[in-house]
Structure 1
């Protein structure tokens, strides 16, 4: 991490900060701000806190918060027939957490981005929100999650077209398959891992498993640094293209 950068981490509770809290103690350029991204008023307050430190500007906004939603994520669409409440919750919770909350965040911090130098807003998406990836792999579950990610990808494009005259760039960015705690919880079971790999091999026969976190972050930062107006509003992979999902 460049010590010259000021980094602001938005979290729901200091009690869940974990290693982030330790890092903030060690590095004085990291600021932790408690907020709720589902509440626009609280987000406005968080933006005001950032503004006090940066004199009213922000170069890059990275939208990394998200959720896979309820336990019904394991069901294919047809399994919700006769289960209206379950379907409403599956779609509704994901749209709230992965779509609306990110739009709230972009709107709350936009005035700071306008005053920044880089002027970039980056949404960390997922290949699950890509139509062609889903069609080829046969990935029929994670209905609400996939729909909400695809919807936010479109929102990113809408922001890009609206803000292009101001020189503000946006991007939906897939991190790839990353060895996060969430990924381990899903693919830690050998049988589930085999099913997932079988699907992923339809897109990339060479993929063997999730990438280390450090490698994934380095790849994404490179794409963010190289983002130009020509690619603003697109949905790119961590390789900076629209094809290499792993």
Structure 2
């Protein structure tokens, strides 16, 4: 009975992971959320809900250990922060607003880079005793240096920077635990429609520009975001197929460097 922990599981891609994995009665699925009473969307799915937030994921790990007997097969670090206000701005737009930029960068780094490291450390003792032994970071194609430069993607800087740092952090993590047979992998889920409301006009305008740049990057792409369900189906295949030879890598939902 494989066991999975998904952080940031109350909406979007995280919720889709719970839906997909919970549909198989052979899986033990643990959804970790910051606000357990508010995670009403999870009530309709076969999973166990644990509360966990930055700095106190040890409580969630203890709860999982009690159910599984101290083991865990797969940890999916999905929780993330992307400030909508930064999507339409590049780093040159913060002249005279250095405090705003510093706050955006610090908070993004805290949640998107440091958070998954702490979470992985807390669950590592369980992973060591699991059968599958996989630690996954849900990253983004926006963290890819080559793609950023080739089509000049300058928006969403705090998110992109913090995710690029997280990719390196997980490469370091992979180097530290490879000898234990643990696979560590950063995976971009693709361009996924997770919007629950209509963004402000300036964000929509920036998104349209970004779509045009993405089309240049991948001319064969149809220009449409995929659903969380479609993304998760593909990401789970990548996780399933991941081997120790790939540990520390950064791949897309296709299992390669095609981000769309």
Give the aligned partner of residue 110 of structure 1.
124
- Asked whether the equivalents of residues 30 and 48 of structure 2 are also in contact (C-alpha less than 8 Å), the reply is yes
SS in 2 for 1:145: helix
Residue 233 (1) aligns with residue 248 (2): yes
Q: Which moved more, 1:201-210 or 1:230-239?
A: 201-210
**CA–CA distance in structure 2, aligned partners of residues 235 and 52 of structure 1:** 32
Give the aligned partner of residue 48 of structure 1.
62
- Asked whether the equivalents of residues 187 and 196 of structure 1 are also in contact (C-alpha less than 8 Å), the reply is no
**CA–CA distance in structure 2, aligned partners of residues 95 and 174 of structure 1:** 18
* CA-based RMSD: 2.0
**CA–CA distance in structure 2, aligned partners of residues 204 and 233 of structure 1:** 25
Give the aligned partner of residue 34 of structure 1.
51
Give the aligned partner of residue 178 of structure 1.
192
Match of 2:237 among 196, 200, 222: 222
Q: 1:183 to 1:215 in 2, by over 3 A?
A: farther
SS in 1 for 2:255: coil
Residue-by-residue CA offset, 1:79-137 (whole Å, 9 max, x unaligned): 22232211211210100110111111000000000000000000000011111111122
Q: 1:203 Cα shift?
A: 1.1
Give the aligned partner of residue 150 of structure 1.
164
Match of 2:183 among 133, 153, 169: 169
Q: 1:193 to 1:69 in 2, by over 3 A?
A: closer
Q: TM-score, length-normalised on structure 1?
A: 0.90
SS in 2 for 1:10: strand
SS in 2 for 1:241: coil
Match of 1:197 among 211, 224, 230: 211
Residue-by-residue CA offset, 1:140-169 (whole Å, 9 max, x unaligned): 011111110000000110011110110011
Residue-by-residue CA offset, 1:186-229 (whole Å, 9 max, x unaligned): 79987445322211012111222101222211100000000011
Give the aligned partner of residue 209 of structure 1.
224
- Asked whether the equivalents of residues 136 and 202 of structure 1 are also in contact (C-alpha less than 8 Å), the reply is no
Match of 1:121 among 135, 138, 163: 135
Stretches of structure 1 lacking an aligned partner (at least 5 in a row): none
- Asked whether the equivalents of residues 126 and 176 of structure 1 are also in contact (C-alpha less than 8 Å), the reply is yes
Residue 9 (1) aligns with residue 31 (2): yes
Matched residues, number: 237
Give the aligned partner of residue 19 of structure 1.
41
- Asked whether the equivalents of residues 187 and 193 of structure 1 are also in contact (C-alpha less than 8 Å), the reply is no
Stretches of structure 2 lacking an aligned partner (at least 5 in a row): 1-22
- Asked whether the equivalents of residues 88 and 206 of structure 2 are also in contact (C-alpha less than 8 Å), the reply is no
Q: TM-score, length-normalised on structure 2?
A: 0.85
